């Protein structure tokens, strides 16, 4: 079909003004008088709408005038400049054909709907302004992340979703099976007979691609993953979903400093990309969702991120313990209130906190010479707290094995991971960025359910 | 760490020649004489290796000379041109430090290993030439696909992985659960008590994002998905995996013709991108994996794809029935032998086959005026057969509902999908590209297990 997009009309208006154009889109509103009427149309390709003027010279004038919100139409006409109006141009229609009407009970009307209500109609909410903005920006962020890493020759690795290992705590994982739950095959001793399952063993949905990603970093030097991860956490908060996407870069011959440089570069790159490619959407968020958003993001782009060790950060925070619900002392994990205090009140910009106590971090993080802390790093940003978590990885076979013994981890489950330290080990580092948290950060949206097209949370798996 | 990549040395050699550089990488081979030696190093960023020359003036000359294949080293030295050698330059080392040795039982040696053997060490195989080439090209193809759609302002939609619907046949799906399989909660009647499961109902891993994708096409006009899909098929072939990635574009105000244009444009774009960005890898595939590869791909890029209806195609094929294992007649599904005959023998280029009998296609495809065929399209390519399958979707609420009744599908399970036809229905089309099949096509690799970093097939879920 020879239809121009509304985006194209806005971006290259000079090429279309005073020419005949055809567009297809959905009715946002119709105002009709006796002799003529106005239709506001969105075709979903651009945040701004397009006004169409039509006249009673058309045979279907009455039909058009009665169109409900949401109807699909195809409009043919001349694009004319409207120097005195709010919008820069409109279509003087010669033909409006109804592609598909919208039934009278259409759940979206011109009034503003609550985000809660819109969550009940996930298949229709992307037709609203807010979700047009959210999901276009989500798409742009995803692409910006790919572009950032690909321009730097990182190899995109698809780590597996279904996994036979349960590296980070089986309690929070989803099990994957093809066995009939009404009739589970059993061994003689009554236990589940997994030889009858699809993979002939218990399998789960992954919680992280990191360990797999490391194997590829030790082959390609610089890699990144970008894929779904899962948590079966029974937590009903605005920041947790059972299914979400993660970006996990991993770099060989890279220390914690390199890790921070890549993380800082990535965040700034993505923010700049979105500000440049979705100015209308970002202005909308700033006006209607989160008033300080643009100032905050511009500040991030233009500031050098702060650096502070965990030990220093705890000293700073202890002086303000009267302001916290949860008092800080060395050894405790930092809560969101502490993280936000550091980045918002102390540094007033994003800050990397490094070198955490080994007890509160994962087994694979590189032990520092002090024997007490590990080369971990969290990136804290104003308005959110932690957005990135990473570390330099333990590259010594002996130290890694000793730490696994300390924690009671079975080495036979991690043989491939130990092999990376046995055959050509190299210092290496990586981090994880929760994609949805990044989308929330860039849009100001407050609930993770509103930045995922079809969110999955405890008790909810619609569509 | 201030290490330059081998890729950077090759791409911008003029900037580095006769200067001091430092690189980190892994030993491919060491040849030592009494006074000096050569190390061939790969750092994984570039398909070509780098030669390092070192001398007995170094304190660790003996240690270096005994390095095993796979050891990680950091080399400092001067990059010098070698006009008389095969390689364009080498590093005259002043320092070689061992980052991590490689144990004597390193499973990869300089000799050629079989692909079957390498499948048993999925964590190490990306260090070989073949898999360096495969997985870099896989990454480039993924990015090229994003770039193609993003340049055209398609919105990237993350459709859900865990799904409560079982649209395309529950028998082939993986079930997702948090219930303890040793102790399944039961109702009084003995059936599974799904109120105790995480989502309070049975859930599966998705087999396609299409239906969800359609809801977003009816909001953004042009969208695409790119994510994992799953099939619990018990088929042990070279072309089936239980977990694979799919790209599913969906376009509103687009008919079958538009669909074919986008599909043809995408394939050509991706091929061109890879030929341009991975010439060394593509030459390797052409020389060692699939002799006719480059000719075939160049032919695809430079030809206009053929078009033929299913009915015409059957007429053509019937004339050659003596050459087929499975004889063709109108109404039968085309087998790979037929598809390849059409594209390789008859058209000698890629060909779109359109308008298949409704009986062999999905319920959502648009009925043609003949009442017998639907507006489906498969794209067949030489060497593979079907690589893309798509259709115009049925946009009439009545026709879709009638077809669902005919097939015994429950309308209450598809209410959201019917809503798209009730509220502003518009003609729309889309297709699905199996990502791994695309990687196989562009690399000439013959087994899907060799184009997936950590393949999942029946009975296999390692790492």
**pLDDT digits 0-9 by tens, A364-377:** 999 999 999 999 99
Answer positive or negative: Cα dihedral of A258, A261, A267, A268. Answer: negative
Q: Which of A106, A146, A460 lies at the smallest CB-CB distance from B423?
A: A106
Interface touch A1/B456, C-beta < 8 Å = no
Work out the end-to-end distance of chain A between its first and last CA atoms, rounded to an integer number of angstroms.
Answer: 30
Contacts of B106 in chain A (CB under 8 A): 423-424
Tell me what the mean pLDDT of segment B81-107 comes to.
97
The average confidence (pLDDT) of chain A is 96
Band (A111; pLDDT cuts 50, 70, 90): confident
Gap between the Cα atoms of B400 and B364, Å rounded: 7
Q: Are B350 and B267 in contact (CB under 8 A)?
A: yes
- Could you tell me if A180 and B181 are in contact, meaning their C-beta atoms sit under 8 angstroms apart? no
Checking if the pLDDT of A155 tops 70, the result is: yes
- A253/B24 touch (CB, cutoff 8 Å), yes or no: yes
Q: What is the pLDDT of residues A233-262, one digit of tens each?
A: 998 899 999 999 999 999 999 999 999 999
Query: Hey, are the CB atoms on B461 and A163 less than 8 Å from each other?
Result: yes
Nearest CA in chain A to B235: A198
Mean pLDDT of B358-384: 96
User: End-to-end CA distance of chain B, in Å?
Assistant: 30
Q: What percent of chain B has pLDDT over 90?
A: 95
Given a cut of 50, is residue B119 above it in pLDDT? yes
CB of A417 closer than 8 Å to CB of A410: no
Q: What is the least distance, in Å, from the CA of A186 to any CA of chain B?
A: 9
Partner-chain residue, chosen from A27, A454, A458, that has the shortest CB–CB distance to B160 = A454
Cross-chain Cβ contact A175/B174 below 8 Å: no
Residue predicted with more confidence, B8 or B164: B8
Q: Measure CB to CB from residue B453 to each of A106, A157, A253 and give the nearest one.
A: A157
CA distance B346 to chain A (A): 30
How far apart are the C-alpha atoms of B32 and B67, rounded to whole Å? 10
pTM: 0.97
Residue A257 has a CB neighbour count (10 Å cut-off) of 15
pLDDT band at B327 (very low <50, low <70, confident <90, very high): very high
Whether B384 has a pLDDT exceeding 90, the answer reads: no
Q: Please report, to the nearest 10 degrees, the dihedral formed by the alpha carbons of residues A209, A214, A215, A216 taken in order.
A: 90
Which tokens go with A46?
A: 């651009």
* CA angle, A410 then A412 then A417, to 5°: 95
pLDDT band, residue B170 (cuts 50/70/90): very low
CA-based nearest distance A294→chain B, Å = 23
Q: Which of A151-160, A286-295, A403-412, B163-172 bottoms out in mean pLDDT, i.e. has the lowest?
A: B163-172
Q: What is the DSSP letter of B67?
A: P
Tell me if A228 and B230 make a contact (CB, 8 A cut-off): no
C-alpha count within 13 angstroms, C-beta hemisphere, residue B78: 6
Q: In this predicted model, which residue has the larger pLDDT, B296 or A383?
A: B296
pLDDT tens-digit readout, B221-275:
999 999 999 999 998 899 999 999 999 999 999 999 999 999 999 999 999 999 9
Min Cα–Cα distance to chain A from B332, Å? 31
- For residue A154, the SS3 value is coil
Chain A positions in Cβ-Cβ contact with residue B258 (cut-off 8 Å): 1
Q: What is the mean pLDDT of residues A285-306?
A: 95
- How close A396 gets to chain B, by Cα (Å)? 9
- Average pLDDT, integer, range B67-77: 98
Q: What pLDDT, on the 0 to 100 scale, is given for residue A20?
A: 98
CB-CB under 8 Å, B423 with A70: yes
Q: Which residue of B has its CA nearest to A106?
A: B423
Mean pLDDT of B58-79: 97
Q: Tell me the per-residue pLDDT of A171-192, one tens digit each, with 9 for 90 and over.
A: 589 999 999 999 999 999 999 9
Cβ of A212 within 8 Å of Cβ of B124? The answer is no
Nearest CB to B127 within list A26, A219, A463: A219
Q: What is the pLDDT of residues A389-416, one digit of tens each?
A: 999 999 999 999 999 999 999 999 899 9
The minimum CA-CA distance between A58 and chain B, rounded to whole Å, is: 21
Model confidence over B127-163: pLDDT tens digits?
999 999 999 999 999 999 999 999 999 999 999 999 9
Q: Which pLDDT band holds residue A170 (cuts at 50, 70, 90)?
A: very low
Is B461 in contact with A164 (Cβ distance < 8 A)?
A: yes
Contact call for A463 and B106, based on CB within 8 A: no
Higher per-residue pLDDT: B168 or A450: A450
In DSSP terms, A309 is beta-bridged to: A354
Instruction: Say if the Cβ atoms of B44 and A220 lie within 8 Å.
Output: yes
Q: Using the beta-carbon criterion (under 8 Å), do B463 and A212 form an inter-chain contact?
A: yes
Query: Is pLDDT at B356 greater than 60 in this prediction?
Result: yes
- Mean pLDDT of the B173-201 span: 95
DSSP string, A334-378: PPHHHHHIIIIIISSS-EEEEEEEGGGS-TTBPBPTTSSEEEEEE
Segment B104-121 mean pLDDT: 93
- Token representation of residue A298: 């511009």
Mean pLDDT along residues B393-422: 96
Q: What is the mean pLDDT of residues A281-308?
A: 96
Q: Is the ipTM beyond the 0.85 threshold?
A: yes
Percentage of chain A beyond pLDDT 90 is 95
On the 0-12 / 13-18 / 19+ scale of CB atoms within 10 A, B371 is exposed
Give yes or no for residue A44 having a pLDDT over 50.
yes
In total, the C-beta contacts within 8 angstroms joining chain A to chain B are 333
CB-nearest to A461 from B131, B162, B452 is: B162
Mean of all residue pLDDT scores within chain B: 96
Average pLDDT over residues B402-431: 96
**Contact call for A220 and B24, based on CB within 8 A:** no
Q: Say how many C-beta atoms besides its own lie within 10 A of residue A421's C-beta.
A: 21
């Amino acid at each position: 079909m020879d239809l121009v997009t509304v985006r194209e009309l806005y971006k290259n208006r000079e090429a279309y003004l005073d020419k005949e154009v055809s567009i297809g889109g959905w009715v946002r509103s119709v105002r009709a008088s006796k002799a003529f009427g106005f239709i506001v149309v969105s075709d979903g390709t651009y945040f701004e709408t397009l006004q169409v003027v039509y006249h009673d010279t058309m045979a279907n004038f009455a039909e058009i005038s009665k169109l409900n919100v949401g109807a699909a139409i195809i409009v043919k006409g001349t694009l004319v400049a409207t120097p005195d109006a709010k919008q820069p141009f409109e279509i003087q229609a010669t033909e409006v054909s109804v592609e598909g009407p919208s039934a009278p009970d259409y759940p979206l009307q011109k009034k503003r709907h609550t985000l809660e209500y819109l969550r009940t109609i996930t298949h229709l909410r992307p037709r609203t302004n807010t979700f047009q903005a959210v999901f276009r920006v989500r798409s742009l962020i995803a692409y910006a992340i790919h572009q950032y890493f690909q321009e730097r020759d990182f190899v995109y690795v698809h780590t597996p979703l279904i996994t036979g290992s349960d590296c980070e705590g089986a309690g929070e994982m989803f099990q994957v099976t093809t066995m009939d739950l009404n009739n589970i095959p059993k061994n003689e001793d009554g236990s589940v007979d997994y030889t009858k399952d699809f993979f002939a063993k218990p399998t789960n949905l992954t919680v992280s691609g990191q360990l797999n990603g490391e194997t590829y970093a030790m082959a390609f030097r610089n890699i990144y993953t970008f894929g779904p991860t899962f948590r079966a956490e029974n937590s009903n908060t605005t920041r947790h979903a059972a299914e979400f996407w993660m970006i996990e870069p991993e770099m060989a011959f890279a220390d914690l400093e390199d890790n921070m440089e890549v993380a800082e570069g990535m965040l700034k790159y993505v923010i700049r990309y979105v500000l440049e490619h979705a100015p209308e959407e970002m202005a909308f968020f700033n006006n209607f969702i989160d008033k300080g958003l643009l100032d905050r993001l511009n500040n991030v782009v233009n500031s050098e991120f702060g650096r502070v060790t965990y030990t220093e950060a705890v000293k700073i925070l202890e002086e303000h313990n009267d302001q916290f619900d949860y008092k800080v002392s060395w050894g405790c994990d930092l809560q969101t209130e502490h993280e936000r205090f550091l980045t918002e009140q102390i540094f007033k910009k994003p800050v990397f906190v490094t070198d955490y106590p080994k007890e509160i971090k994962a087994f694979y993080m590189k032990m520092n010479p002090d024997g007490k802390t590990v080369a971990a790093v969290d990136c804290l940003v104003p308005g959110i707290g932690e957005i990135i978590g990473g570390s330099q990885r333990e590259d010594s076979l002996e130290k890694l094995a000793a730490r696994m013994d300390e924690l009671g981890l079975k080495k036979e489950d991690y043989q491939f991971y130990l092999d990376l330290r046995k055959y050509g080990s190299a210092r290496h580092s990586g981090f994880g960025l929760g994609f949805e948290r990044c989308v929330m950060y860039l849009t100001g949206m407050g609930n993770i359910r509103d930045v995922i097209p079809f969110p999955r949370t405890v008790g909810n798996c619609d569509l």
